Amino acid sequence: MASQKIIHDPVHGSIRLTGLSQRLLESGELQRLGHIKQLGLANLVFPGANHTRLEHSLGAFHIADRLAREMEMDEEDRQLLTTAALLHDVGHGPFSHTLEGAVFSELGFDHVEHSRRIIRGEVEALPPGDREDLGSLPTVNRTISDEGQDPGKVASLLEGGKGPTIFDFSPEGNRVDGLDPATRHLRQIIHGVVDVDQIDYLMRDSHYTGVAHGVIDVDRLLQTLVVADGELAVRRGGVSALEGMLVARGLMYSSVYFHKTARIAELMLARAVERISDKEFMERVPAMTDAELLSDMATMDGTREMVLRLKYRRLYKSAYQLQLADASEEQRQALMDLSKHTARRSWEDELARRAGLAEGEVLVDVPAAELLLSEPRLYTTHIKVLDNGDLYPLSKFSPLARALQQRTVTQWGLLVACTAEAVDGVLAVVERALSP
């Protein structure tokens, strides 16, 4: 009987790993994810939200395996799909998406690109010396190769754009980026309108936060997903389950992922990291765990106070919020300008100066741009529905899907935060700055 490992998961029950997946679980890259919180600093608002990226990776693997069997994929495609699902987040840095913007602006890549590089064996994913000191930490790249698989092909399933239309094709039907059209549906299962990543994180985050919005009919959804004309589609009978997932996604973003207090906590950490001028430190950040990052920052004069504030939950408060619906045309244009990293940071410093505060003591959040970086799928509902042998756009059967594209996720288009003592002064400064 082949060797196997059974993981008892609170969301999915028993998760079975054999062969390549079992060996990958022992890799340093995957084990590192067990020290990175899935929801960043959301546990400061939802105390149960202490689950990790490793748990989520195992969950995505399990959902991918279930879907592959429902679709009766051949063994080669099933192995490729489940391996990509298990490794899809292997490039996440400490506190998950919290530092995504800071790392991207400084180093020029996001966690998806970093994951691809790790799988292809182009970068070292662990802190310097860890692998050598232990002497027995296999890499995911070597493990995949040793099992006779192609790491490059696995990494290709993580390919995808960052705009509202993830899969763009030429008029002839070929991928404009040269990726193999034969694996198009596999890439969509990893990163698409409905994918194994989203299915697991909605179910898992709902479970650990205690927020019921993430409950979806996963059984019906997996039973009705099909491959049609080379793309992932859903049978007509699964439209309601798909709508439920899309609604859950929107509600979880509003109530959990962009909860105002949790967002401010994440901004505090992200801005503190952003202001560390040590280039070498920033280059080490993607390989760190949560604890390693905080430990290093606690020894730095410029960041120690912020680490202590997070440790003891002495969080900044909202001084000003502007909803997009209430913004004038001039203010909307200003928000577009502030979505740029340098402009936003310059305005933070200007507001602090006018309020008599030190640089870094005023935080400005314009979430629209960061949403496109961390979750490009949020406003996408472009999936086909298979009905009586023909494919139709989802909008034909679901006005709800169209409405979700227009729904605002965050309560604010602009948020300004500072210490509780400085709220009144910062509010006055912001109002003067935004007045016509």
Residues 353-370 have pLDDT tens digits of 999 999 999 999 988 766
Same domain? For 193 and 165 the reply is yes
Are 210 and 157 in the same domain? yes
So what's the pLDDT on residue 416? 97
205: β partners: none
Q: Are residues 320 and 384 in the same domain?
A: no
Domain count, the chain: 2
Do 224 and 335 lie in one domain? The reply is: no
The answer to whether the Cα torsion of 62, 64, 70, 72 is positive or negative is negative
Tokens, residue 231: 């793309």
Summary mean pLDDT of the chain:
89
Same domain as 329, residue 217: no
Band of pLDDT at residue 319, cut at 50, 70 and 90: very high
Model confidence at 406, pLDDT cuts 50, 70, 90, reads low
- Percent of the chain having pLDDT more than 90? 68
Structure tokens at 239: 């439209």
pLDDT digits (tens, 9 = 90+) for 136-190: 788 999 999 999 999 999 999 997 533 333 333 333 334 434 567 888 899 999 9
How does DSSP classify residue 175?
B
Asked whether residue 292 is assigned to any structural domain, the reply reads no
Q: What is the total residue count of the chain?
A: 436
Q: Among residues 85, 87, 113, which one has the least CA distance to residue 100?
A: 113
Mean pLDDT within 245-273: 93
pTM: 0.91
Nearest CA-CA partner of 81 in 17, 156, 13, 143:
156
Percentage of the chain lying above the pLDDT 70 cut:
91
Task: Report how far residue 240's alpha carbon sits from residue 425's, in angstroms, rounded to the nearest whole number.
Answer: 49
pLDDT for 35 beyond 70: yes
- 389 located within any domain: yes
Report pLDDT for 214: 82
Q: Could you tell me if residue 287 is inside a domain?
A: no
Residues 180 and 254 in one domain: yes
Please give the pLDDT value at position 1: 54
On the question of pLDDT at 328 being above 90, the answer is no
Q: What does DSSP assign to residue 423?
A: H
Q: Are residues 107 and 174 in the same domain?
A: yes
Q: How many CB atoms lie within 10 A of CB 216?
A: 23
Residue 243 and residue 205 share a domain: yes
Residue 143 falls within a domain, yes or no? yes
Q: From CA 123, how far away is CA 143, in angstroms rounded?
A: 15
Do 187 and 133 share a structural domain? yes
What is the mean pLDDT of the segment spanning 259-265?
Answer: 96
Residues 251 and 345 in one domain: no
- Tell me: do 429 and 390 sit in the same domain: no
Q: 424 with 397, same domain?
A: no
Q: What is the CATH number of the domain that holds 132?
A: 1.10.3210.10
* Contact call for residues 396 and 353 (beta carbons, < 8 A): no
Q: Are 235 and 386 in contact (CB under 8 A)?
A: yes
pLDDT in tens, 294-311: 999 999 988 999 999 999
Give the amino acid at 154. Answer: V
User: Is 260 exposed, middle or buried, given 0-12, 13-18 or 19+ CB atoms closer than 10 A?
Assistant: middle
- As a whole number, mean pLDDT of residues 100-110 equals 87
Bigger pLDDT: 160 vs 13:
13
What pLDDT, on the 0 to 100 scale, is given for residue 13? 97
Supply the range of the domain harboring residue 435: 316-366+413-436
